[in-house]
Amino acid sequence: MQVTDPALISGVTLDAFLAFILALFGFLFLGNLAYMLVRRVLDERVTRGKAKWTATILQYGITFGGVYASARYLLDFDPTAFVASLGILGIVVAFSSRQIIQNIIAGILITINRPIQLEEWVVVSGRPETGISKVLDISFTTTILQGFDGGLVLTPNSSIITSKVTNYSRAGFLEVSIPLAVPVTANLERVQAIALAAAHDHPRILPHVDKAERSAIQSLFDLPYIGRLSSDLPRTGLAIFEPKVQISSIKEDWVRLTVRVWIREVTARERIVSEYLDNVIEHLKAEDLIGEKKWEDEPGPAASPGEPMAGERGVKTGQAA
């Protein structure tokens, strides 16, 4: 009686093919297990970014290495013959996936050059601009950002490499422009003095910081990219962070001022500005420098995205990053 051979799939026995499928799932499981174990061990010992990339490299190494070995020995996989057999189909597939390849290469460059890191606050320019966001995760193809409103922005890694990226965490400080409008009859010199005094008195506005922080801020000027920022300025060091008040425009019965201050806490920007404006309005009211004219009398131009405007009893205020 003649015994039939096992069923064949492209020259591979069915038993070998099933063994390869089992090995594939096994190495996928081992890769994920290794990722979780490495993260658990390293998260408390090194930075979150180093722990993540170490675990990811180990995960993909185990997965791809295991799959390749299984295909080589169970399916008699020949890489040279496989590449040669792709022909035109391989060219078409490579061309159609060029965006994925670009993002993978960009992810590798981000890992090497480290223009951004996890937990940093950045702005990625483009259409539209991301606004100030925290870097939550960096994968091989995508960078995940989280804005102040809690929304997640999935940005292709190629955009990080090709676009202008503003890194506020690495710079160490942020300039905030605060629009302020008062009646044209107000004493502008006194208004400006009050605005400057309120900025100097606020404990979270530069250069009014603790002595321990003064040395930390001063050391930032030793960094090359911060040194270039102040190289063309007449004053260096903490002096460039002095608050400034400028007259922006005069329209009908209103004088528009712009108060420019520097802060270190990017995440507390709106709270700092709110506290500052409360202090300014309180002093303006105490000295009767703001009239009874209502905000609705002169609404002004619409605020640009990220620059909400608010007003109270004859004084118009707003904030911008």
* Alpha carbon distance 85, 93 (integer Å): 13
Judge whether residue 254 has pLDDT over 80: yes
Query: 196-200, 236-240, 287-291: lowest mean pLDDT where?
Result: 236-240
What was the pLDDT predicted at 12? 64
Please check the confidence at residue 307 and state whether its pLDDT lies above 50.
no
The band of 223, judged by pLDDT with boundaries at 50, 70 and 90, is low
Whether the pTM exceeds 0.85: the reply is no
Quick one: pLDDT at residue 302?
39
* Per-residue pLDDT, 86: 53
pLDDT tens digit sequence for 225-248? 554 554 444 445 567 778 999 988
Predicted local confidence at residue 257, as pLDDT: 92
H or E element that contains 220: helix 211-220
**How far apart are the C-alpha atoms of 70 and 61, rounded to whole Å?**
14
**Range of weakest confidence among 2-16, 29-43, 224-238, 241-255:** 224-238
